[in-house]
Structure 1
Amino acid sequence: MPHADLSHPVESGMPVFPGDPPVTVDSHATMADDGYRVSAVSCGSHTGTHVDAPSHTEPEGRSLDAFPVSRFVRDAVRVDLRGHSPREAIRPADLPTVDAGAVVLWTGWDRHWGDPEYLDHPYLSPAAARHCVDHGYDVAIDALNVDPTPSEGASDNPHVTDGVGGSDNPHATADHPEASVPAHHELLGNGRLIAENLTNLDSVPARFELTALPLALAEGDGGPVRAVARWE
């Protein structure tokens, strides 16, 4: 049965959401000095390829450890959205209506990993997030965020729509520009899970099984995953 790794490696200096803890992977013990190797890893709970728990944005949301392990294995359908422009909304009409446990949004934005353009990804409109809730889909994306990410290019981009993102965002504040996360609220507030920062989606077919098992963080609001696809 074919498999594909859909995860970015965790390494020092890797991209993170603006304001999140930086990632460092340092040598703690070495073969030369200690006869074995151990690394010291410092990172946030939403580092790299990761899963968001409802408690990430919802005051009464469940943490990752409230879900059975089976919840992180989903029959997934990949949706080709590579024609979307920077900071363009993904609409309900862009999404399928099929029998699946998850939709995987293939924007192609992983090609910008490590570059400033990575922040200016397409995003899920609130109506599209509601479509996913209505059809029982969890959501995965090969970009930093299912909502618009604050960046220097946000305020004057003509593709920012639906009242989210940019300088006229009614929910954001000067101190908390990231506070407007309507797609997160729609999905996580209705018990759907979100996986972000996938990669390598060009290597999988349109239907596959997605396994994204997060680290077993007690009361985790999110956790890094090794996301793996397999198919017949």
Structure 2
Amino acid sequence: MPTRDLSQSLDADATVYPGDPEVEFSPSATHDDDGYRVTRLRLGTHAGTHIDAPSHTEPDGKNLDEFRIEEFTFDTRIVDCSALGAREPIGIGAVPTRDEIGDAELLIFRTDWDAHWGTDRYFDHPYLTADAAKECAERGLHVGLDALSPDPSPSEAGSENENKESETEMEQEPAGVPAHRELLGRGRFVVENLTGLADLPERFELRAYPLPLAGADGSPVRAVAVW
């Protein structure tokens, strides 16, 4: 059975959302001093390839430990959005029809923005419009991306985006996290910072198991495609 790890490396160079804790490693015990090795790890619940719980944006949303473990295995369909440029919206027209997706449970919008992981350009990823996110959520679909967020991310480089013709057009980017709110507000999951989607089959099973953290609003995952 073919499998592929779709997870970004969780190291000290991992890209994190602006304001989130950086990923830090430091020795807690060493072979020389203690006869064994233990590493202290500091990171946020949304570091690396991770899954968002509804409680990430919704005060009354469920935490990850309120879901059964089998709910983190998804019949998945890839949506190819790789032709989009920096900070371009993924509109409702990109969402496949019910006939096209069949019984899929999760849509992964492939932008190929994982190629920019670890660089400032990673923050200028394409993003989902609120209408596209709402369409997914109302149809009971979870969403995944090979990007930092389904919403626009803060970015100094955004002002240099060649795909925007004017400052007025740039100001039309949505404020806040409307795509998150549409999805998480309806009890859907969002899986972010996936990688290695380019030559996967259109349909596969995604296994994205979170850490067993109590009351977590999100968690790093080992995202694995199986087909």
Q: Is TM > 0.5 for Structure 1 vs Structure 2?
A: yes
Task: Classify 1:152/1:64 alpha carbon distance in 2 versus 1 (closer, same or farther; 3 Å).
Answer: same
Asked whether the equivalents of residues 103 and 139 of structure 1 are also in contact (C-alpha less than 8 Å), the reply is: yes
Among residues 192, 199, 204, which one is paired with 1:196 in the alignment?
Answer: 192
C-alpha distance in structure 2 between counterparts of 1:110 and 1:158, whole Å = 19
Q: Secondary structure at the match of 1:201?
A: coil
Amino acid at match of 1:145: S
| Aligned counterpart, 1:76 | 76
Amino acid at match of 2:209: L
Amino acid at match of 1:197: N
Q: Percent identity?
A: 49
C-alpha distance in structure 2 between counterparts of 1:129 and 1:24, whole Å = 33
TM-score normalised by L of structure 2: 0.91
The within-5 A match list for 1:36-55 is 36-55=36-55
Q: Secondary structure at the match of 2:158?
A: coil
Per-residue deviation, residues 59-91 of structure 1 (Å, max 9, x unmatched): 111111111111110000011111001000001
The within-5 A match list for 1:129-168 is 129-155=133-159, 157=161, 167=171
**Pairing 1:228–2:227 present:** no
Amino acid at match of 1:51: I
Asked whether the equivalents of residues 24 and 41 of structure 1 are also in contact (C-alpha less than 8 Å), the reply is: yes
Task: Classify 1:28/1:115 alpha carbon distance in 2 versus 1 (closer, same or farther; 3 Å).
Answer: same
Higher mean alpha-carbon deviation, 147-156 vs 98-107, is at 147-156
Q: Secondary structure at the match of 1:202?
A: coil
Q: Secondary structure at the match of 1:209?
A: strand
C-alpha distance in structure 2 between counterparts of 1:63 and 1:222, whole Å = 8
**How many residue pairs align between the two structures?**
220
Asked whether the equivalents of residues 120 and 157 of structure 2 are also in contact (C-alpha less than 8 Å), the reply is: no
Task: Classify 1:166/1:214 alpha carbon distance in 2 versus 1 (closer, same or farther; 3 Å).
Answer: farther
How far did residue 51 of structure 1 move? Answer: 0.4
| Aligned counterpart, 1:101 | 105
Amino acid at match of 2:20: D
Q: Secondary structure at the match of 1:198?
A: coil
Q: Which runs of 5+ in 1 are unaligned?
A: 172-179
How far did residue 155 of structure 1 move? Answer: 4.8
How far did residue 39 of structure 1 move? Answer: 1.0
Among residues 183, 190, 195, which one is paired with 1:187 in the alignment?
Answer: 183
Q: Secondary structure at the match of 2:136?
A: helix
C-alpha distance in structure 2 between counterparts of 1:55 and 1:187, whole Å = 11
CA RMSD of aligned residues (A): 1.9
Amino acid at match of 1:148: P
| Aligned counterpart, 2:206 | 210
Amino acid at match of 1:15: T
Per-residue deviation, residues 149-199 of structure 1 (Å, max 9, x unmatched): 011133565757xxxx9556674xxxxxxxx10000000000110000001
The within-5 A match list for 1:19-34 is 19-34=19-34
Q: Secondary structure at the match of 1:224?
A: strand
Asked whether the equivalents of residues 89 and 159 of structure 1 are also in contact (C-alpha less than 8 Å), the reply is: no
TM-score normalised by L of structure 1: 0.89
Asked whether the equivalents of residues 152 and 173 of structure 2 are also in contact (C-alpha less than 8 Å), the reply is: no
Q: Secondary structure at the match of 1:220?
A: coil
